[in-house]
Amino acid sequence: MTESRQIDQGKPPRTMSREQRRTQLIEATISTLAARGYSRTTLTEVARTAGLSHGLVLFHFETKEKLLGETLAYLAEEYRQNWQGALANAGPDPAEQLNAMIEADFAPAICAPARLAAWCSFWGEAQSRPLYQEACGDKDDAYNATLEGICARLSNEGGYDRNPVHAARIIRVTTEGTWLDMMTMVTPYSPAEAMTTVRTAAALCFPNHFTPEGLK
């Protein structure tokens, strides 16, 4: 499910491998969710977005429920890989790691309008379907644990006496609230502006290491 995200756009062959087609249909589902919202996302519309017949969607995913579940899993996995990759590329310094995680959360691939809108669609249905808590609960757990660990090390090494659990929570809810803002605000809201907001929160928690513009 995670390999070969890229789809060959040269001249689409009539048939594709199972994995390629599934990925293409999941991407079409994300686009449709963003364009029409969860409630008006139909199999026919997903198929039309992909330029395929609606029967094929069910051939590959069996039911609409499973298509949406796999779409959510795809988004969750993409999100996880994004921040874990950014963290792996950052140095051992906790301030750099925290900065890397903040930047990762607003990377174009993650907080592109269509991606955010798709996430938001799922949030709206979350409370009524265990599906989402399954897919997202684990992801959030790993993210939180990592963030708290980084904040704890930054607190210790940086000489702050801040509660790392509180700091991590502030950073996380600030990020989530900013995503929601980007979705619901009428006036456009750039990723750069969003990141400034989260960095401001980081600067409040760790003023010796962060400014609203980034690392000190």
Partner DNA sequence: GTTCTGATTGACAAAGCAGTCAGTCAAAGG
Partner DNA sequence: CCTTTGACTGACTGCTTTGTCAATCAGAAC
Point out which residues bind DNA (CB under 7 A).
13-18, 21, 40-45, 52-56, 58-60, 62-65
In whole angstroms, the minimum distance from the beta carbon of 68 to DNA comes to 9
* Nearer of residues 73 and 154 to DNA, judged by Cβ: 73
Instruction: Give 33-41 contacts, CB < 8 A, sequence gap 24+.
Output: 33/71, 33/117, 33/118, 33/121, 34/113, 34/114, 34/115, 34/117, 34/118, 34/121, 35/114, 37/121, 38/121, 38/122, 38/124, 38/125, 41/68, 41/121
**Would you state the torsion angle of the CA atoms of residues 29, 35, 38, 39, taken in this order, to the nearest 10 degrees?**
-120
Task: Tell me which of a second copy, DNA, none is bound by residue 200, counting a contact when its beta carbon lies within the kind-specific cut-off of 5 to 8 angstroms.
Answer: a second copy
When asked if residue 129 is in the footprint of a second copy (CB under 8 A), the reply is: yes
Which of these ranges, 5-13, 38-46, 83-91, 147-155, lies near a second copy under the rule CB under 8 A? 38-46
In terms of Cβ atoms closer than 10 Å to its own Cβ (0-12, 13-18, 19+), residue 210 is: buried
**Would you state the torsion angle of the CA atoms of residues 40, 126, 173, 107, taken in this order, to the nearest 10 degrees?**
-50
Residue from the set 137, 156, 157, 211 that interacts with a second copy by CB under 8 A: 137
When asked if residue 42 is in the footprint of a second copy (CB under 8 A), the reply is: no
When asked if residue 213 is in the footprint of a second copy (CB under 8 A), the reply is: no
Task: Tell me which of a second copy, DNA, none is bound by residue 126, counting a contact when its beta carbon lies within the kind-specific cut-off of 5 to 8 angstroms.
Answer: a second copy
User: Vertex 109, ends 103 and 113: CA angle to 5°?
Assistant: 105
- Scan residues 66-125 and list those touching a second copy (CB under 8 A): 113, 117, 120-125
Structure tokens, 16: 């594709």
Phi (first) and psi of residue 149, to 5 degrees: -60, -45
In whole angstroms, the minimum distance from the beta carbon of 34 to a second copy comes to 6
When asked if residue 142 is in the footprint of a second copy (CB under 8 A), the reply is: no
In whole angstroms, the minimum distance from the beta carbon of 149 to a second copy comes to 19
Structural Rg of the chain based on CA atoms = 19
- What DSSP character marks residue 92? S
Residue from the set 16, 204, 214, 215 that interacts with a second copy by CB under 8 A: 204
Binding site for a second copy (CB under 8 A): 34-40, 113, 117, 120-129, 132-133, 136-137, 140, 166, 169-170, 172-178, 180-181, 183-186, 197, 200-201, 204-205, 212
